[in-house]
C-alpha cells in the first residue's frame, strides 16, 4: 500500500482534502460519478484495505484495480505507469493472500 501512496504523491495525484461526505455515498463502482480515480484509491480503496488488515479480516478473493488505473490514464497526457504498476503489485499481493 505504501508503494501506491508514494506513486500518488510522485504523480501529484494525492489530495490534501477528502471528497465531500456525499461523494462517499456513491453506489457506482469506483465512485466514478463522484470522485476521480486517484481520489477513490486514496480515500476509499486504501483505507478499506488498511481497515481489513488492522481488523484481521480476510482479504477479498481477488483484487483487480490496476485495469481501472489503465483505463483512467488511457486518454490523459500524464504517464500513470508508476501508479498502475504499484496497483498491479498490490492486486497480486491481495490475490495471493487467499
31-48 confidence digits (pLDDT tens): 999 999 999 999 999 999
**Domain of 44: which CATH number?**
1.20.1440.40
Instruction: Count structural domains, the chain.
Output: 1
Q: Is 80 helix (H, G, I), strand (E, B) or coil?
A: coil
pLDDT of residue 97: 72
* pTM listed for this prediction: 0.93
Find the domain containing 92 and state its range.
2-96
pLDDT tens track for 56-81: 998 888 899 999 999 999 999 999 99
**Coil, helix or strand at residue 56:** coil
- In the prediction, which pLDDT does 60 show? 87
The answer to whether the CB of 83 falls within 8 A of the CB of 13 is yes
Q: What is the pLDDT of residue 98?
A: 63
pLDDT in tens, 76-98: 999 999 999 999 999 999 988 76
Does residue 9 carry a pLDDT above 90? Answer: yes
| Mean pLDDT (whole number) for 13-41 | 96
User: Could you give the C-alpha distances from 82 to 21, 25, 76, 78, 89, in angstroms and in order?
Assistant: 29, 29, 14, 11, 11
Amino acid at each position: 500500500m505504501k508503494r501506491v501512496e508514494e506513486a500518488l504523491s510522485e504523480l501529484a495525484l494525492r489530495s490534501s482534502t477528502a471528497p465531500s461526505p456525499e461523494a462517499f455515498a456513491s453506489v457506482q463502482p469506483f465512485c466514478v460519478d463522484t470522485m476521480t480515480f486517484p481520489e477513490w484509491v486514496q480515500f476509499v480503496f486504501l483505507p478499506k484495505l488498511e481497515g481489513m488488515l488492522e481488523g484481521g479480516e480476510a482479504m477479498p478473493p481477488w483484487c483487480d484495480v490496476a485495469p481501472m488505473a489503465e483505463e483512467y490514464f488511457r486518454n490523459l497526457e500524464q504517464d500513470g505507469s508508476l501508479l498502475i504498476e504499484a496497483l498491479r503489485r498490490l492486486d497480486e499481493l491481495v490475490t495471493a493472500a487467499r
